[in-house]
Amino acid sequence: MGTIVEQIQGIPLNHYLIFCSVIFAIGVIGVLIRRNVIIIMMSIELMLNSVNLLLAAFSAYHGDASGQVFVFFIMALAAAEVAVGLAIVIMVYRNTKSIDIDSLNKLRW
């Protein structure tokens, strides 16, 4: 286990920041350019995961366990969110026969 800890000590925290913001930006781009609701939810999962990894990195670099507990709670929340979201997607598909997000424009104005 000591070698793994030595592994991370060579990496500046800045590189974790940059890496996680790149992944977060990819998630934002995915939400903006796709029309499939399921892929939009997958992009949201990508964003949640990048934030999780950054919290874990800060927690490991500062020796504070609270960050990793927060990541655990965020994972529980993400599971609940996906279950409810996919149930809504199934109901929308049953009513409109498509999962195009642009067909859900009744609440626009």
Partner 1 sequence: MSIFYFVAFLSIFFALMTIFTKNPVHSVLYLVITFFTFTVHYILLNAQFLAVVNFIVYMGAIMVLFLFVLMLLNLNKDTEPMKSTIVKIMGTVAGMCLLVTFLGAFRVIEVNNEAITPHANIGLVKNLGQVLFKDFLLPFELSSILLLTAMVGAVLLAKKDTNKA
Site for partner 1 in 17-36 (CB under 8 A): 17-19, 21-30, 32-36
Q: How far apart are CA 59 and CA 74, in angstroms?
A: 15
Q: State the nearest-atom distance from the C-beta of 108 to partner 1, in Å.
A: 16
Residue 105 sits in the site that holds partner 1 (CB under 8 A): no
CB nearer to partner 1: pick between 22 and 106: 22
CB nearer to partner 1: pick between 94 and 106: 94
- Compose the 46-75 pattern: x for residues touching partner 1 by CB under 8 A, - for all others: x--x--xx--xx-xxxxxxxx-xx-xxx-x
Q: How far apart are CA 71 and CA 50, in angstroms?
A: 11
Nearest to 89 by CA among 19, 39, 46: 39
Q: How far apart are CA 34 and CA 7, in angstroms?
A: 38
The 10 Å Cβ neighbour count of residue 31 is 16
Residue 44 sits in the site that holds partner 1 (CB under 8 A): no
